[in-house]
């Protein structure tokens, strides 16, 4: 016999309430009669903004609050184009007024605690936010010192630029300041991490900048892996455009990549190798955003286990976790994935709050990478739920053997991808 836990209890009460045409949860005070239920979304990035918008759109009677510390959001996608000098920073900046216009209550605060029993989250400001359903999309945080010597202070000298904004600007400024003939090292992390093709797109666009502006400079990519996403397509690009400028060093050649850095002498150490650099971009190992870790919502892997049908946490009731923080294997950690998961979760949240069984999910991912300003390629995936697992049923990467016109078209479609994806998130 199953015990009647709080979740089952709530479900029973909820179902009975719906059948009688009553609001699911009674709220006193400021919520009045208008608010049917309260959804709080933590994190106003790719996953959170999409989830907030769609919960509100799918059921306007639900009160939706989005909590995000920053007044603007810089997308990581296209930040490599900013770093490569192809776009200005404001091209990847988005504000929250669009979401406000759609009726989302946007609050700038940093959540420091989650109490799933009394169903509230606490802001750094001291304010509490009560919810019936919580959606968490806090992105990633870094495992400082997993590479010895690489901590937050070190990231101001050797930027990661794996969260966009100040770090993007810092890396760009260093590139501009580096003398011609300099050596730059880019450290690529082991799987799993945010945006698997990201380090190689960045390497390509930095090499493109060197070629045009600092032709005697070199970029060394020291990898923690022996293979990587879209590898054939990237290596084809590198042979076409950047021979002599960009060199990729697989993990086997350094016994596992970089283990230690010294920002004082700008040296990066493998087990037996040392690299002296004029500039370094260190992309460290990652984990779910700190709030998820501190609230006990992640497992030993550092990522959050979820029910893939609804993205409900398997650890806490009434909490959905989406985006990079969630374990949504086999989907890659991407902005498009985060948006797709946000839609699955938003539909599930609205179904649950209306006493309906969540429907069958469908997931998708499409990401473009630039190898050069007029040369892009894509990876795509269509996914469905099979026995609790997200299985890829179709997709793959752009073909290798195509005319240049194909790559140019993918540049045009990459820009459309960016515009439509962010328009959907932020209006």
Ligand X SMILES: Cc1cc2nc3c(=O)[nH]c(=O)nc-3n(C[C@H](O)[C@H](O)[C@H](O)COP(=O)(O)OP(=O)(O)OC[C@H]3O[C@@H](n4cnc5c(N)ncnc54)[C@H](O)[C@@H]3O)c2cc1C
Contact residues toward ligand X (CB under 6 A) are 42-48, 67-70, 73, 76-77, 79-80, 110-111, 137-139, 162, 194-195, 198, 202, 289, 291, 323-325, 333-336, 338, 367-368
Decide if residue 100 touches another protein (CB under 8 A).
Answer: no
Nearest one of 380, 193, 391 to 309, comparing CA atoms: 391
Decide if residue 307 touches another protein (CB under 8 A).
Answer: no
Question: Least distance from C-beta 286 to another protein, angstroms?
Answer: 23
Measured in degrees and rounded to the nearest 5, phi and psi for residue 230 equal: 55, 30
Decide if residue 410 touches another protein (CB under 8 A).
Answer: yes
Between 14 and 323, name the residue whose CB sits nearer to ligand X.
Answer: 323
Q: Which of 35, 87, 183, 364 binds another protein (CB under 8 A)?
A: 364
Which letter does DSSP use for residue 358 in this model?
-
Decide if residue 360 touches another protein (CB under 8 A).
Answer: yes
How far is C-alpha 76 from the chain's CA centre? 8
Question: Least distance from C-beta 317 to ligand X, angstroms?
Answer: 20
Separation CA 414–CA 75 (nearest Å): 14
Q: Which of 65, 167, 286, 378 binds another protein (CB under 8 A)?
A: 378
Decide if residue 381 touches another protein (CB under 8 A).
Answer: yes
Between 14 and 47, name the residue whose CB sits nearer to ligand X.
Answer: 47
Decide if residue 96 touches another protein (CB under 8 A).
Answer: no
Nearest one of 111, 26, 13, 159 to 325, comparing CA atoms: 111
Contact partners, residue 200, CB within 8 Å, separation at least 6: 188, 221, 228, 229, 230, 231, 234, 248, 369
Nearest one of 362, 343, 361, 345 to 353, comparing CA atoms: 345
Contact by Cβ (8 Å): 214, 180? yes
Among another protein, ligand X, none, partner that 393 touches (CB below 5 to 8 angstroms by kind): another protein
Query: Beta strands 306-307 and 312-313: pairing type?
Result: antiparallel
128's tokens: 């509490």
**Contacts to another protein from residues 11-70, by CB under 8 A:** 54, 58
Among another protein, ligand X, none, partner that 372 touches (CB below 5 to 8 angstroms by kind): none
Among ligand X, another protein, none, partner that 137 touches (CB below 5 to 8 angstroms by kind): ligand X
Question: Least distance from C-beta 337 to another protein, angstroms?
Answer: 10
Angle at 205 between CA 202 and CA 209, to 5 degrees: 135
Separation CA 69–CA 49 (nearest Å): 13
Decide if residue 419 touches another protein (CB under 8 A).
Answer: yes
Question: Least distance from C-beta 273 to ligand X, angstroms?
Answer: 25
Q: How many CB atoms are located within 10 Å of the residue 255 CB?
A: 11
Separation CA 288–CA 197 (nearest Å): 19
Separation CA 211–CA 375 (nearest Å): 15
Q: Which of 5, 393, 400, 404 binds another protein (CB under 8 A)?
A: 393
Question: Least distance from C-beta 396 to another protein, angstroms?
Answer: 6
Q: Residue numbers of the site for another protein (CB under 8 A)?
A: 54, 58, 336, 339-340, 343-344, 347, 357-364, 366, 378, 380-383, 385, 393-396, 398, 405-406, 409-410, 412-413, 415-417, 419-421, 423-424
């Amino acid at each position: 016999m199953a015990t009647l836990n709080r979740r089952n209890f709530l479900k029973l009460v909820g179902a009975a309430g719906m059948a009688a045409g009553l609001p699911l949860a009674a709220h006193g005070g400021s919520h009045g009669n208008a608010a049917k239920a309260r959804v709080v979304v933590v994190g106003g990035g790719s996953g959170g903004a999409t989830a907030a918008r769609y919960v509100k759109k799918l059921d306007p009677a639900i009160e939706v609050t989005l909590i995000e510390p920053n007044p603007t959001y810089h997308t990581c996608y296209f930040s490599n184009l900013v770093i490569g000098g192809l776009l200005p920073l404001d091209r990847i900046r988005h504000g929250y007024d669009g979401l406000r216009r759609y009726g989302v209550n946007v609050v700038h605060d940093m959540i420091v605690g989650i109490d799933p029993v009394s169903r509230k989250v606490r802001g750094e400001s001291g304010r509490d936010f009560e919810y019936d359903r919580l959606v968490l999309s806090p992105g990633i945080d870094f495992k400082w010192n997993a590479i010895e010597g690489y901590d937050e202070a070190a990231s101001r000298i050797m930027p990661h630029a794996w969260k966009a904004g100040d770090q993007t600007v810092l890396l760009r400024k260093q590139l501009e300041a580096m003398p011609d003939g300099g050596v730059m090292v880019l450290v690529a992390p082991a799987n799993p991490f945010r945006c698997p093709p990201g380090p190689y797109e960045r390497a390509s666009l930095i090499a493109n900048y060197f070629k045009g502006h600092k032709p005697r400079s070199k970029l060394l990519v020291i990898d923690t892996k022996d293979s990587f996403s879209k590898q054939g397509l990237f290596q084809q690009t590198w042979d076409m455009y950047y021979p002599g400028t960009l060199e990729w060093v697989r993990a086997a050649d350094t016994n596992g990549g970089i283990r230690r850095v010294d920002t004082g002498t700008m040296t990066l150490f493998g087990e037996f190798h040392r690299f002296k650099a004029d500039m370094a971009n260190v992309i460290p190992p990652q984990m779910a955003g700190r709030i998820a870790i501190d609230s006990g919502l992640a497992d030993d892997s550092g990522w959050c286990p979820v029910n893939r049908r609804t993205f409900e946490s398997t650890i806490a009731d009434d909490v959905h976790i989406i985006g990079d923080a969630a374990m949504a294997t086999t989907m890659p950690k991407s902005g498009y994935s985060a948006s797709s998961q946000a839609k699955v979760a938003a539909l599930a949240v609205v179904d649950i709050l209306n006493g309906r069984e969540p429907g069958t999910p469908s997931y998708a991912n499409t990401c473009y990478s630039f190898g050069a300003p007029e040369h892009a390629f894509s990876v795509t995936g269509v996914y469905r739920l099979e026995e609790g697992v997200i299985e890829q049923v179709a997709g793959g990467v752009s073909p290798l053997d195509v005319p240049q016109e194909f790559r140019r078209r993918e540049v045009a479609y990459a820009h459309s991808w960016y515009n439509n994806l962010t328009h959907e998130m932020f209006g």
